[in-house]
Amino acid sequence: QGGTSGEYYHLTASQHSTVTSFGSFTNNRVLFTNPTSSITAVGEFGYNQATSTLTAINATVSNNLSALNLSVTGGVSVSTRTAVSSYTVAATDFTVLGNASGVAFPIHVPHASSAPNRILVFKKIDSSGNAVTVSSVSNIDGATTTSLAAQFNKIMIQSNAVQWYEI
């Protein structure tokens, strides 16, 4: 079935998350259902009738994702921010690039309990001798700080709701 961005698609999926049917409504929402979980995606969507492909553009996905695997064909866009002084990670951040050419500074990570399963990436991008320090009160691999001292040093961390781990 065809459709344009801004229409409502209701998709019913089999146990293997294969789309079996959908209908078109309004409100720019997509509801995916299968026997073990439900996902609501809100945003802009395009449907290609020739390939039976529904593409999410600027979409937000919510509800119970723990029972599903995410499979993406094509690119994925995540937020990137550059910090030049003391910075506290925002809820919308994924990658934080640290430019410490002017001064060494910390980047503060939220407590692991407020960000279960969240993944964050940090990278020092300047060549100065000033360090970018990633810090968390809930520890990163058992320590409260990790120093990114040299240009292109990086760390990817994930929360288990108790502490952060380098992955």
Encode pLDDT of 9-25 as tens digits. 444 333 333 333 344 33
Separation between Cα atoms, residue 155 and residue 139, nearest integer Å: 14
What b-and-e string marks burial along 146-162, b requiring 16 or more CB atoms within 10 Å of the CB? Answer: bbbeeeebebebebeee
Q: Which residues contact 70 (CB under 8 A, 6 or more apart)?
A: none
Residue 2 has a pLDDT of 39
- How far does the chain reach from its first CA to its final CA, in angstroms? 42
pTM above 0.75, yes or no: no
pLDDT confidence of 62, banded at 50, 70, 90? Answer: low
pLDDT confidence of 59, banded at 50, 70, 90? Answer: low
Higher pLDDT, 133 or 13: 133
Nearest alpha carbon to residue 159 among 133, 141, 134, 147:
141
Residue 15 has a pLDDT of 33
- How is residue 2 written in tokens? 């065809």
- % of the chain with per-residue pLDDT over 90: 52
